[in-house]
Amino acid sequence: MVAIRLEEDAIDYVAGKLAEAEGGLAGAFRAEALWEPVVFVPDFADPLTLPALDQGGVANQEGANAELVSYLLFLKQRNAKLQTIIFDDPWATAGDMDYAGTPPDELITVEGKLSYVYDITELTPDLIWQYRAVAVSYLKLIYVSEMAVETIRELAEEAPDDLTQRLTRAVRHLAVNVYDDESWLILRHEDH
């Protein structure tokens, strides 16, 4: 697979998806703070004839997940401040989850919506598959943050009203599933 830089209309697409999520962490991002959209497609794909971002038949999840992991770990090498991966399940609420015991430690709620937080060093294609398996929402959102996992969990428990704003400021990249959930579109986020 290869990463292809897309035009500004990809930012509009992502802004629309974030708005569709209706609140939570996704609702805090502004389109003006998103930059450099990149998508993963097979080597043989012609960048000039790619279909709309919501159409399928372009890539496969397995290859795209592996490329996403590789790309995010590359970004971590370039920016040692990147610490956390946040998997957002934008339409899921705590009532949607049916755990036999206590919820997993990775689970937090942001404005009543579910997210899972992991140290970026734990990121693997299998972790992305696990996220896909438990996500209620067809819209998948992944955030890469400079905030430590422990800080995020502490804020979620002790200062939930400040969590969204502080997390948004700490997110440096975000990924959105595209091509009918076959691949990922990654953007840089700068909002100070």
Average of per-residue pLDDT values in the chain? 91
Residues 26-30, mean pLDDT to the nearest whole number:
93
* DSSP per-residue letters across 133-188: HH--SSS-EEEEESS-HHHHHHHHHH-HHHHHHHHHHHEEEEEEEETTTTEEEEEE
pLDDT score, position 98: 64
- Check pLDDT > 80 for residue 96: no
Ramachandran region of residue 191, left (φ > 0), alpha (ψ -120 to 50) or beta?
A: beta
- Check pLDDT > 70 for residue 99: no
Secondary structure of 52-116 in the HEC alphabet?
CCCCCCCCCHHHHHHHHHHHHHHHHHHCCCCCEEEEEECCCCHHHCCCCCCCCCCEEEECCEEEE
Residue located via tokens 């804020």: 155
Give pLDDT tens digits for 144-165. 999 999 999 999 999 889 899 9
pLDDT score, position 112: 87
Give pLDDT tens digits for 73-91. 999 999 999 999 999 999 9
CA angle 83, 120, 47 (to 5 degrees): 110
How many CB atoms sit inside 10 A of residue 145's CB? 27
pLDDT band at 95 (very low <50, low <70, confident <90, very high): confident
Could you give the percent of the chain with pLDDT greater than 90?
A: 69
Q: Token pair for residue 135?
A: 């996500």
Domain encompassing residue 76: 2-46+53-189
Distance CA 37, CA 29 (A): 15
Q: How many domains does the chain have?
A: 1
Nearest Cα neighbor of 71 from 189, 191, 188, 161 is 188
How many CB atoms sit inside 10 A of residue 116's CB? 20
Residues 25-32, mean pLDDT to the nearest whole number:
93
Q: Token pair for residue 78?
A: 């370039």
**109 vs 17, more confident:** 17
Give pLDDT tens digits for 43-84. 888 888 888 999 998 888 999 999 999 999 999 999 999 999
- Check pLDDT > 90 for residue 143: yes
